Amino acid sequence: MLRRARAGPRRLAGGASVSIALAALVYLPKLAFADSVLYSRVLTTELLLNVAAVLKVVFLALATRFAWRCLSFFERGNPVRPAWLLLTAGLGLYLLGQTVLSVYQVVLRVDTPFPSVADLFFQVSMIVLIVSLVVFLRAAFFAVFFFAVFFFELFFFFELFLRGGATARSRRRSAGYTVPVGRSSRPPLRACRASMIAYP
């Protein structure tokens, strides 16, 4: 089961890597060979725009799928789970907008009207993505606050332990007892302090 859970993100990452490599292989050489026969007759500007529109849909689909997979790793009640849900929804809405835009560009081969249904998906997705960022920051703040409280309590109990030992030694001295400071007394004291540090 764990291998299957890990295989999903690996396949998504592999698909994204292959898509990025293909895009770089097609578009980067045009920067140096824009006037070549390859880019003037074979890979024309119109063809590259159509390929770019399809690649945008592929990348957004991979991003949406990856966000959904990350969402499934968090149990219900986890403060970061709503953030991943909103991120998935925002990417999905942006994917729908880009799909509508690609239909105009690639299938219908007409100028995209403005405003269109794609713009509606784009605007709503921006709002959802901004809200997801706020929820992410809120979850991160609570995580940092939790660890800060934990380490503060650890330091507080350690300080109480040191003060308690000093108070006990002063009381013994005032009562006329001598506190042993030889080597035989040091290991138990160190072991006690180590156990007090490790226990919380």
pTM: predicted TM-score of the whole model, two decimal places: 0.62
Q: What is the DSSP letter of 115?
A: S
Residue keyed to tokens 């994204």 = 16
pLDDT of residue 20: 78
More confident: 145 or 62: 62
The 10 Å Cβ neighbour count of residue 66 is: 19
Q: What are 120-140's pLDDT values in tens digits? A: 999 999 999 999 999 988 887
DSSP secondary structure letters along 146-172: HHHHHHHHHHHHHHHHHHHHHHHHHHH
Average pLDDT, the chain: 75
Confidence (pLDDT) at 9: 60
Query: Where are the extended beta strands (E) located within 12-165?
Result: none
CB burial of residue 12 (10 Å; 0-12, 13-18, 19+): middle
- Reading the block at residue 56, the tokens are 């945008």
pLDDT one-digit tens code per residue, 108-118: 888 888 888 99
Q: How far apart are CA 4 and CA 9, in angstroms?
A: 9
pLDDT tens digit sequence for 63-102: 899 899 888 888 887 888 899 999 999 999 999 999 999 9
Angle between helices 117-175 and 186-198 (to 10 degrees): 160
Q: Examine the pLDDT at 2 and tell me if it is beyond 50.
A: no
Q: Answer yes or no: is pLDDT of 145 > 80.
A: no
Tell me how many degrees the CA angle 137-61-126 measures, rounded to the nearest 5: 45
For the segment 166-180, the average pLDDT, to the nearest whole number, is: 55
- List phi, psi (to 5°) of 95: -65, -40
**Which long-range CB contacts under 8 A does 75-80 form with residues at least 24 apart?**
79/138, 79/139, 79/142, 79/143, 80/135, 80/136, 80/139
